[in-house]
């Protein structure tokens, strides 16, 4: 039995200044409409939590269920940082596969403050996420910049390459009605934007956004009985953790694990995330029609393209420069426009990636349509060791 | 001398030499920074005896960056603000990469693979942190 994606819904990304609950409800209702299902028929609700919106954010499943109207549906709430949405999908899918329910609603939404993400308030010297700001002033973009500089040193990538990622993603995002940034940009504009964390400039780094995304998942049997769409199936959900020792300096850590006693694992954490998804789906990177990856920075999209196997290490720049990863290219990366066009709405983002997978695989992505899309992967990583990759197929 | 901004993560000897303080598992010899106590995180090791260990003072730059805008609280940014430089430095013997502020060097002075040596410096509001400096 398979789990199908019967409906998708999004609230447009932006800085709307309203409660995350509104975005979540709008996305949920859109997903239910898309599925052709009434809210009262949903048996199970999973909310991806947000930590910056008080108690209702910590119990997002109940918050959304109450807002949509209590029906007695069973719920779960989960938090896995940027991977929260993937975990929510995983929980709903697993429950359907276990035969414990037929149809589930997955919702994630966030309302974000302006500027850098900062740690949760208070004096908390036992929390590494607080300490990295206190002792080092190490913001999230600082970590993205370390990876970017490392690429430049190891592979010879240039700021012009990074700018080309932004140009590509802005082009795709200009065609997406749910994206926050709809303007195309030039490489010159990216390279003239203020330096934030050398070598990354403002337009290399994804913003923080408000937004909401939702999915209706159902067992294939239920979907057939009810006449719901069965066009897109979930072939894999990877929620792997790193293998010790993790030799990549991860946000928000002060150091890597040590290789003094145990040699590094065969794959880096990011590469292991996609690998597990491919194993579960019985597919490989060569089978993909496109991929959505977590471009927290332009340079990080290049890392991801290699980590998910679209290019050997160091050669994602070549793929980019050949136009292969652009819309209309051989293997488009981030046809949605990516985080470059959306900005990050943490608990909604992995769900939004799957919304794009679904639209593309249904052939309903309009001017962004990847021709003959058959299989796609969405990859993401949540801080503190949360892998997230989902493969969907037609 | 000013107080450290965090206890037990680094030490300054009488001769001024600064050492990062980690721990080492007595069972498998894995090294930890920041100091890990109570249990070893090597999945193949059930060790619970982690003893203090001074880490190598010199390493090579794994990568580096800076903060062109003042980082938000709880960081105390100097006024007027000058960019904080950060380096992730690889310590060969311990097989570990440690992030730190960089003292008296900017990103223009750094390159991947360059050798740096541990020192310390003051945060804008006074207390000391470990910093990477010119070797």
| pLDDT per position as a tens digit, A49-65 | 999 899 999 999 999 99
Contact B72 A118 (CB under 8 A): yes
Name chain B contacts of A133, Cβ cutoff 8 Å.
71-75
Work out the pLDDT band at B122, boundaries 50, 70, 90: very high
Work out the pLDDT band at A125, boundaries 50, 70, 90: confident
Q: How far apart are CA B117 and CA B56, in angstroms?
A: 9
Residue-averaged pLDDT of chain A: 96
Instruction: Give the max Cα distance, chain A.
Output: 58
Chain B: residue nearest A154 by CA? Answer: B112
**pTM, entire model:** 0.96
Q: Name the residue among A255, A258, A260 with its Cβ closest to that of B99.
A: A255
Main-chain dihedrals φ then ψ at residue A154, nearest 5 degrees: -80, -40
Express each pLDDT in A294-316 by its tens digit. 999 999 999 999 999 999 999 99
In terms of Cβ atoms closer than 10 Å to its own Cβ (0-12, 13-18, 19+), residue A198 is buried
What are the residues whose beta carbons fall under 8 Å from the beta carbon of A188, sequence distance 6 or more? none
What are the residues whose beta carbons fall under 8 Å from the beta carbon of A122, sequence distance 6 or more? A130
Q: Name the residue among A130, A197, A259 with its Cβ closest to that of B95.
A: A259
Handedness of CA B12, B13, B17, B21 (dihedral sign): negative
Q: What is the ipTM of this complex?
A: 0.97
Residue A5 reports pLDDT greater than 90: yes
CA distances for A208 relative to A15, A84, B36, angstroms? 9, 16, 33
C-beta of residue A26 within 8 angstroms of C-beta of residue A11 = yes
What pLDDT is attached to residue A215? 98
| pLDDT mean over A118-147 | 90
What pLDDT is attached to residue A122? 77
Tokens of A250: 């991860």
Work out the pLDDT band at B2, boundaries 50, 70, 90: confident
Express each pLDDT in A233-274 by its tens digit. 999 999 999 999 999 999 999 999 999 999 999 999 999 999
Residues 14-73 of B with CB under 8 A from A: 24-25, 28-34, 41-45, 62-73
B113 and chain A in contact, CB less than 8 A: yes
C-beta of residue A27 within 8 angstroms of C-beta of residue A348 = yes
Q: How far apart are CA A141 and CA A199, in angstroms?
A: 10
Main-chain dihedrals φ then ψ at residue A211, nearest 5 degrees: 175, 170
| pLDDT mean over B20-36 | 97
CA distances for A301 relative to A18, A168, A178, A187, B15, angstroms? 30, 11, 20, 16, 46
Q: How far apart are CA A295 and CA A204, in angstroms?
A: 9
Q: How far apart are CA A313 and CA A303, in angstroms?
A: 8
Handedness of CA A235, A384, A124, B49 (dihedral sign): positive
CA distances for A66 relative to A25, A59, A238, A346, A366, angstroms? 10, 11, 30, 21, 34
Tokens of B51: 């003893």
Chain B closest CA to A257's CA: distance in Å? 6
What pLDDT is attached to residue A180? 97
Contact A197 B111 (CB under 8 A): no
CA distances for B125 relative to A40, A387, B105, B129, angstroms? 56, 37, 20, 11
What are the residues whose beta carbons fall under 8 Å from the beta carbon of A274, sequence distance 6 or more? A238, A285, A307, A308, A309, A377, A379, A389
DSSP state string for A135-185: II---HHHHHHHHHHHHHHHH---HHHHHHHHHHHHHHHTT-TT-S-----
The CA dihedral of A156, A142, B127, A126, to the nearest 10 degrees, is -120
What pLDDT is attached to residue A124? 83
Tokens of A209: 């956004």
The conformational region for residue A104 under phi > 0 = left, psi -120 to 50 = alpha, else beta, is: beta
Please work out, in degrees rounded to the nearest 5, the angle formed at the alpha carbon of residue A181 by the alpha carbons of A216 and A213: 15
Q: How far apart are CA A338 and CA A320, in angstroms?
A: 15
Name chain A contacts of B68, Cβ cutoff 8 Å.
194-198
Q: How many CB pairs below 8 A link A and B?
A: 141
Give yes or no for a cis peptide into B4 (omega within 30° of 0).
Answer: no
According to DSSP H, which parts of A261-378 are helical?
269-281, 298-307, 316-321, 338-342, 346-362
Handedness of CA A142, A147, A152, A154 (dihedral sign): positive
Residue A1 reports pLDDT greater than 90: no
Contact A245 B95 (CB under 8 A): yes
Handedness of CA A216, A219, A220, A225 (dihedral sign): negative
What pLDDT is attached to residue A113? 80
What are the residues whose beta carbons fall under 8 Å from the beta carbon of A182, sequence distance 6 or more? A173, A174, A176, A341
What pLDDT is attached to residue A333? 98
Express each pLDDT in A318-362 by its tens digit. 999 999 999 999 999 999 999 999 999 999 999 999 999 999 999
Nearest to B54 by CA among B127, B130, B1, B107: B130
C-beta of residue A4 within 8 angstroms of C-beta of residue A220 = yes
| pLDDT mean over A197-206 | 98
Express each pLDDT in A102-124 by its tens digit. 999 999 999 988 777 777 777 88
Q: What percent of chain A has pLDDT over 70?
A: 99
Helix or strand holding residue A107 (H, E) = strand A103-110
3-state helix, strand, coil in chain B (%, to 5): 0, 45, 55
Residue A78 reports pLDDT greater than 80: yes
Q: Name the residue among A118, A196, A247 with its Cβ closest to that of B69.
A: A196
Nearest to A298 by CA among A151, A176, A177: A151
What pLDDT is attached to residue A119? 78
Mutation target to probe the A interface, by most A beta carbons within 10 A, among B29, B74, B92 is: B74
Name chain B contacts of A244, Cβ cutoff 8 Å.
41-43
Radius of gyration for chain A, computed over Cα atoms and rounded to the nearest angstrom: 20
């Amino acid at each position: 039995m398979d789990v199908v994606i019967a409906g998708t819904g999004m609230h447009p990304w932006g800085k709307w200044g309203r409660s995350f609950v509104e975005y979540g409800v709008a996305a949920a209702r859109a997903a239910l409409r898309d599925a052709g299902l009434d809210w009262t028929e949903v048996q199970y609700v999973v909310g991806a939590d947000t930590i910056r919106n008080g108690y209702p954010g910590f119990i997002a499943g109940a918050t959304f269920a109450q807002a949509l109207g209590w029906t007695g549906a069973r719920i779960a709430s989960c938090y896995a940082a940027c991977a929260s949405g993937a975990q929510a999908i995983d929980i709903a899918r697993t429950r359907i596969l276990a035969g414990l329910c037929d149809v589930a609603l997955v919702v994630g939404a966030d309302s974000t403050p302006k500027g850098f993400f900062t740690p949760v308030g208070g004096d908390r010297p036992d929390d590494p996420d607080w300490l990295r700001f206190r002792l080092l002033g190490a913001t999230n973009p600082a970590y993205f910049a370390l990876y970017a500089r490392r690429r430049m040193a190891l592979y010879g990538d240039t700021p012009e390459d990074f700018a080309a990622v932004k140009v590509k993603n802005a082009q795709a995002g200009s065609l997406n009605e749910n994206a926050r940034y709809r303007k195309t940009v030039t490489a010159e504009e990216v390279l003239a934007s203020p330096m934030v964390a050398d070598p990354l400039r403002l337009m290399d780094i994804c913003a923080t956004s408000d937004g909401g995304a939702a999915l209706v998942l159902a067992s294939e049997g239920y979907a057939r009985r009810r006449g719901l769409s069965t066009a897109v199936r979930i072939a894999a959900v990877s929620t792997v953790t790193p293998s010790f020792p993790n030799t990549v300096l991860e946000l928000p850590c002060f150091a890597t694990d040590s290789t003094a006693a145990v040699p590094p694992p065969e794959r880096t954490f990011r590469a292991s995330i996609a690998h597990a998804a491919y194993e579960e789906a019985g597919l490989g990177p060569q089978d993909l029609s496109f991929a959505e990856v977590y471009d927290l920075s332009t340079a990080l999209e290049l890392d991801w393209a290699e980590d998910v196997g679209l290019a050997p290490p160091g050669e994602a720049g070549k793929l980019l420069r050949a136009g292969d990863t652009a819309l209309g290219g051989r293997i488009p990366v981030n046809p949605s426009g990516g985080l470059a066009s959306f900005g990050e709405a943490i608990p909604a983002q992995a769900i939004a990636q799957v919304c794009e997978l679904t639209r593309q695989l249904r052939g309903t992505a309009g001017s962004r349509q990847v021709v003959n899309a058959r299989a796609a992967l969405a990859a993401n990583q949540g801080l503190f060791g949360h892998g997230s990759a989902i493969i969907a197929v037609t | 001398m000013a107080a450290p901004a965090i206890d037990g993560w680094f030490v300054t000897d009488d001769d001024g030499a600064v050492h990062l303080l980690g721990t080492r598992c007595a069972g498998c010899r894995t090294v930890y920074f920041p100091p890990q106590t109570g249990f070893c995180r090597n999945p193949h090791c059930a060790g619970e005896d982690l003893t203090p260990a001074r880490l190598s003072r010199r390493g090579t730059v794994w990568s580096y960056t800076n903060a062109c805008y003042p980082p938000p609280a709880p960081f105390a940014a100097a006024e007027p603000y000058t960019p904080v430089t950060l380096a992730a430095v690889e310590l060969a013997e311990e097989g570990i990469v440690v992030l730190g502020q960089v003292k008296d060097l900017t990103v223009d002075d750094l390159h991947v693979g360059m050798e740096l040596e541990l020192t310390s410096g003051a945060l804008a509001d006074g207390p000391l942190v470990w910093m990477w400096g010119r070797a």
